[in-house]
Amino acid sequence: MTARIGIALALLLASGFFGLAASLTSMRMVDEVNAKLSKEQQFGLLGWHYFKSRKMIQEYRRLYPSGRLIARELTLEAIGVVLFLVAADLIMGSLVTAWLATGVCVAAWLMYRR
């Protein structure tokens, strides 16, 4: 039992690092988009929500058609979520994991669909 908790804590820590890396990638994306937009069209650093994120992703795709930051951010987020779900499974059981996995999949689909 103690080994399971230790492994779960290590996975949670790793999940946090992947989440941080995804956030830094998102900030880099905002910086690159803002560099090509006029001052009044630039994205602010605070107050992010679904619609603002979608608009920023659309602008990034428009300005950088071959850009790889969206794929990198999604990959880092997916790895972090998988690690989190494995840790949740080790701690609480598979019912919670299935519920969380469904929510994460729906959220990712809504955010990154074209």
Mind listing the pLDDT tens digit for each residue in 6-50? 998 999 999 999 999 999 999 999 999 999 999 999 998 888 888
Whole-prediction pTM: 0.78
Q: Is the dihedral of CA 82, 86, 88, 93 positive or negative?
A: positive
Kindly report, residue by residue over 74-109, the tens digit of the pLDDT. Answer: 889 888 988 888 888 888 776 666 677 777 777 776
